[in-house]
Each structure stands twice: as C-alpha cells, then as structure tokens.
Structure 1
Amino acid sequence: MPRPSGRLAAFLGPGRPMEIREYPVPSPEPGAALVRMTVANVCGTDLHQWRGEFDIARLGRPYPQVLGHEMTGVVAALGAGAGRDSAGAPLAEGDRVVFRYFTPCGRCRACLRGVSRACPDARGYLREPCSRPPHFNGAFGDYYYLRPGTSLFRVPDNLADAVVAGVNCALSQVVGGFDQVGLGIGEQVVIQGAGGLGLYATAVARELGAGQVIVVDGRAERLELARRFGADRTIGLAELPDPATRAALVRELTGGWGADVVVDVAGHPSAFNEGIAMLGRTGRYLEIGNLHPGVTVPVDVSELVFRNATVHANFYYEPAHLASALGLLSRTRDDYPWDAVTGRSFPLAEINEAFLAADRGDVARVSVTP
C-alpha cells in the first residue's frame, strides 16, 4: 500500500518561483515526530534567502530547499520513545506543539559547553535538499519532520496557532539575545527595526524591566504598533533622516548618556554604525537581524573602544529560551497585541504571492497555512 503524500513549496533558488511538489510522508523513526503544519510565518531571513542576499548555495547547501522556520503544528505521528515533550509533559497525536527548527549534534565543543545554538553540525532546516527523505525539512509544507533530539513543547490552550507561530524563531531569538546581554532592570534600550523581531523585542524588554524602550523604524504604522507593544518613544526615519541626529536624540532621551543596550533587528549592515553611536559607555550592542553575507560597512573600531562597549551576536537559541518565550506569551496573552504581528495569511498554493506581500513590508509578518 503506497504511503500518503504531502505538499511542500520547493525553493529552487533566488529569482525563481517556488513550486508546489508532493513527496511521500515519512514515518517517524524512534525518538522522532511528524508534525502536521497549521501556521508558518514568512520571516525576514526567508526573505533574505528568497532575494538572494543570503544565498545558501554559497554554503554548499543544494537546491531545492524548503524555506520557513517560524511555525507551529499538531503531532501527526510519534516514533517509539517520543511520548513526552522537552519539559516532561505527556505527548500524544493531536497535541499542538512548538519546536526548535534545528537539531544540534550533542557532541561538538559548542554542544558540550551548553551552547547548542552554535552547533556547526545541527540538522534540519536548509541542511538537506527537499528531494531527499525525509523531504519535509522546512515550514512551508503540509508536514514537518522532527528528528530525534529536537526540542519541542506542548502549546498552552490559551494561545491561538497564529500567535504561537512566531515563538520558535523571532520571540525565542530575542529572549535568548536579552539573556545573552544580561538586560538589567531600569536600563535604557534602543531597538533598531519594528518588524516582527523588533515588536517582540519591545515587549520582552518591557517585561524584563527596562527603564525606557526606544524604537527606530521607517514605517509609521510599525512605530504605532511598537507603541502598543510598550515602546516609550519612537523615532521615525522620515522625520529624522540623518543618523547622527537620531543618535543625538537617543543621547538626549537617555539623559546625555546613551543606551545601555541597542538591539539591531533592522536587517541590514548599515544599521550597525548608527547603533554603536547610540550606545552609552559600557553599553552592549546585540546583533540579531543581520544576515547579508559579504555585505560590509566601514567601522570605526575606536568608537567601541572609547565606549568600553561589547558587541554580542546571536544566532538560534537554546531550549530554555523557547520554553521561556512560550511561557511569556501565555502569561501576557492579554497584555500585548500579539495577534497583530501577523497581518495577512495565504494558503500554501499561493506561496509566491505570500512572499511578494512580505517583501513589500506592509505588515510585520505574513503567514502561510496548508
């Protein structure tokens, strides 16, 4: 008897439309799980890859691929020994789950140091072409295959799928980033960019007790949304087009000192120098949103030295950050407009239209449903 098939959006490379293809649905091996997708968001990283700014072929990753990594779904099948989630809660078919989209090796120096987010041998997303089993390696499909050892958690009943989808990338990423820089109560924070990551970062900074949260972006509607997420002050690029003027305003708003923490989620290297100029002495710069390999900007390193500044770079996150992000979302469900992050939804069959809409940047996130 033939196995059932499932659809996925095959990405053939920058500048080419994605194709809907069907592949056999894999049966989970021991310790693995098969998830039926419910919602997947188009993240800024997906757009970088789609445009060719981050061409994975340069990293030796063959096409076709399945893009998408910000997602949630329902357990469709469990392999032997996969009956509990990463918190120890019982897990069964039909349970709603959120999970890391990469599976660290557990043996390398990074994993053994407890920094599994830096594992160079992590499996899953973008590691293998979708033409090779288990096929369903990305979010834009009917299914997603969770390899043994992948961290996953049951979703609380008070959270809708559309709200949960952003947990396993954007929200966990900023939770992990703020953990890395050690944001303290009362510290002054600047967030460069008010897309999905920026909005999440605004709320997380607020929840961690930041004294003031300042958000910088070029779109008025995004800045308005940032205020709903807890921004004390917003700075529009149209109103203040000169970076030096914007940095001077930040110093004025922070009592002449500058920010304690600046977070770059703007998505382009050009934000770096401006962010450093906004830092106060002993400030920490958190780099999350920059995925433009080969695109560089000149940097005056003395600006870092004079400030006694520290630069932190954050890629991926730890299981504890995913659990923390899910708990924060559940706990503050009625305190922030979480459902406003995703503005439009498209069916999987319209994946190319979804990416065009996301590329226009009219909303922070575009979602895709099977």
Structure 2
Amino acid sequence: MDPRTADLTTVALWEGGDVVRLTEVPLPDLKPREVLVRVRLTTVCGSDRHTVSGRRSAPAPSVLGHEAVGDVVRLGPDAPLADDGVPLAVGDRVVWGVTVACGACDRCLTGRSAKCRAVRKVGHEAFASEWPLSGTYARHVVLPDGATLARVPDGLPDAVAAPAGCATATVMAAVEAAGPLEGRRVLVSGAGMLGITAVAAARDAGAAEIVVTDPDPGRRGLALRFGATSARATDEPVGLVDVAIELSGASTAVARALDVLDVGGRLVLAGSVAPGPEVPLDPERVVRGWLTVTGVHNYEPHHLRAALDLLSRTRDVAPWHELVTPAVDLASVGALLTGPPAAAPRTAVAP
C-alpha cells in the first residue's frame, strides 16, 4: 500500500490499563499547515511505560509514542517551514518536537513555548480529540500547525535520530541551563537514556571531568564508553563539582547532587517529573555558596536542532547504536509497554 495514497493507517491503540490493540483507522484530510508523516522507526520512552502502568496520567484511549523519525508523505494547504526556514516537501526525512504551542500566549512570546498555556503534546492526546493520530506507535502520525519539524542529516541512522525529539533535545535544554561546560567538573546523576546522552553532550562541550552515578553496573560501563571520566555507584563518594545534572528523579539523588556542589555551582533538575519525597534545602548554604538550582521540563524548538547537531558531530565517536535495540513490528508495542524493561535504554519499533 502506497502511504501517499492510502486511505487507512494502522495504530497501536492504548485503551487503558495494559490493553493495547492494533486497529485500522482512516487517514484524515489535512488542515492548513498540517503534515502527514509515515513513521520509519519509533523508540519507546520510559514515560509511556509509566502511563500504561498507572504512574502517569493520560487520556485513554489514545495513540502513545513521541520519539520517532519518519518521511513526509502529505502536506496540508500552506506547507509549513522546517526549523531551518525552508518549506517542507514530500519525501523529507524528519524528526519533530514533543510539544505543539500556540505561539501567541504570554509564555510563548517570552520564550517558554514548552509551557504554552494551550500546549498539546505528541503522543499525549485523546483518540477522541481533534488530533487522534498524535502518537508514533502507528504507521502514520499527523503533525499539526505549531509543531516543530527538522530534517534529519544524511547518514544519520534512524535509530540514532529517533530519540532526538525527546531524550536528546531534553538533554540539550538541560545542558544549556547548566551554562558553559568547558573545563568544568560535571556530575551526571542517572545513566539511563538521558544520562548517557548528557555524558556525550558534556564531553562534546569540553567538560574537564564527567562523573556519572547510577546503581546499575551495566549502565555505568555504558557511561564510560560514552566519555565519562569515572562512573560510580550511588553510595560511593563523588567529590565537589561545578555542575550537577540530575536525571534519575530520585529524591536521594537530588539531595546528593546539592551536597556536592562547589562554590558557584549549578544544579539542573530534569528527571523529577513525578511526585516524590521532599528534598531538604539549606538556604544558608545556597546563599553562602552562590548556588543555583533550576529545572527543565520539555524544551524549546532550537533544542531539537541542537540535538541533531550533537548526534551528527558525535556519531563516529560515541556508540549511539548501543542505546537502541533492533526494531520489532507494531504488534509488539503492547508487550514492550507492559513487559519487563529491556537491557538497552531504548527499544525500537518499525511500524
């Protein structure tokens, strides 16, 4: 079936709980500036597993999935521009941002489109809404007006490009919030997909020392292959650092990251996206130590391009292929979302 002329597409529809079923649905007529993309490969983010397990709320039924790479197969009237300012064309291989912003509210106008007052998100919208094909666990996804799309550089494999729209771009936002890293001592707390990516980004930015903490020895070994100068268990001493990037979301790890900041240090929190125990904060130490604590949730459009640039620059020096499993078919999505976690940080699906 030619995806450019097909009337139907197949989706893995999450119906709540652990129920995921394949179903065929009509492809919609595109509105102005909408883009229909044929999904080449999508990766399973941990947040989707949290949704299915009940740790994270989301509307059901819906098509989940938000990390992917695909080909533009149809354009609505008034074709939108890619992030480089050039109009999109059928056949472009693209990745896209998680958030779709209105572009007109006070937050959008002041550079916080990730927290747009009317934000919509890829893979987070109800199937009964005006945007049913919002997720990437499907053969096609519709990207509405306001979405950020970026062409994928030639030679960048699909499995490397797919996480750019979530994990890699989020890390680029966190690294930007951390400030210049050249010559700095950096702690990366948590060596999952985001943590490993942060190691690569810190090395690319010229950090003098990159210490990674994680309880899993396999993840610590992976961090070393991506450029960490040392990798330690969470109960091992770290020493003082200039920058801490906390990606695990564990309250104990947040507290520890605060404790190891040197004078003028900066802590960036990006992993704390679910309720957890409160973390004590000594305001006197913050004041006397000139410390900065900041948070990052989602990212801005320019971080998507920064993610692709990082992947392109480092594709020959970082073993990105080790982060993603060989792709399975769309029928396996339910098992991936409900079964035990894979050994690699990301599992891949080729719809």
Which interval holds the TM-score relative to the shorter structure?
Answer: over 0.9
Deviation of residue 306 (structure 1)? 4.9
Q: Which residue of 2 aligns with 1:6?
A: 9
Q: Which residue of 2 aligns with 1:97?
A: 94
Q: Which residue of 1 aligns with 2:146?
A: 149
Q: Which residue of 2 aligns with 1:207?
A: 204
- Structure-2 separation of matches of 1:207 and 1:7: 40
TM, length-normalised to structure 2:
0.92
Q: What's the Cα RMSD here?
A: 2.0
Taking a change above 3 Å as real, the CA distance of residues 350 and 361 of structure 1, as seen in their structure-2 partners, is closer
- Structure-2 separation of matches of 1:128 and 1:286: 28
TM, length-normalised to structure 1:
0.88
- Structure-1 separation of matches of 2:265 and 2:15: 42
Matched-pair contact (CA < 8 Å) for 2:40–2:70: yes
Q: Does 1:166 align with 2:163?
A: yes
- Structure-2 separation of matches of 1:282 and 1:366: 39
Deviation of residue 12 (structure 1)? 2.7
Matches within 5 A, 1:66-105: 66-82=63-79, 84-105=81-102
Deviation of residue 300 (structure 1)? 3.4
SS in 2 for 1:165: helix
- Aligned residue type for 2:29: S
Deviation of residue 34 (structure 1)? 0.6
Q: Does 1:369 align with 2:350?
A: yes
Say which of 48, 59, 67 aligns to 1:46: 48
Q: Does 1:341 align with 2:323?
A: yes
Say which of 277, 294, 302 aligns to 1:296: 277
SS in 1 for 2:248: coil
Q: Does 1:195 align with 2:176?
A: no
Taking a change above 3 Å as real, the CA distance of residues 325 and 292 of structure 1, as seen in their structure-2 partners, is same
> Percent of pairs identical after alignment?
35
Deviation of residue 22 (structure 1)? 2.3
- Structure-1 separation of matches of 2:49 and 2:272: 12
CA-to-partner distance for each residue in 1:303-345, whole Å, 9 max, x for gaps? Answer: 5445332111111111111111112211222111111111243
- Aligned residue type for 1:42: V
Taking a change above 3 Å as real, the CA distance of residues 361 and 350 of structure 1, as seen in their structure-2 partners, is closer
Matches within 5 A, 1:284-363: 284-293=266-275, 295-302=276-283, 303-356=285-338, 359-363=340-344
Deviation of residue 173 (structure 1)? 0.7
Matched-pair contact (CA < 8 Å) for 1:10–1:66: yes
Say which of 30, 33, 50 aligns to 1:31: 33
- Structure-1 separation of matches of 2:6 and 2:317: 45
- Aligned residue type for 2:238: V
Matched-pair contact (CA < 8 Å) for 2:18–2:334: no
- Structure-1 separation of matches of 2:178 and 2:187: 13
- Structure-1 separation of matches of 2:305 and 2:126: 29
Give 5+ residue unaligned stretches, structure 2: none
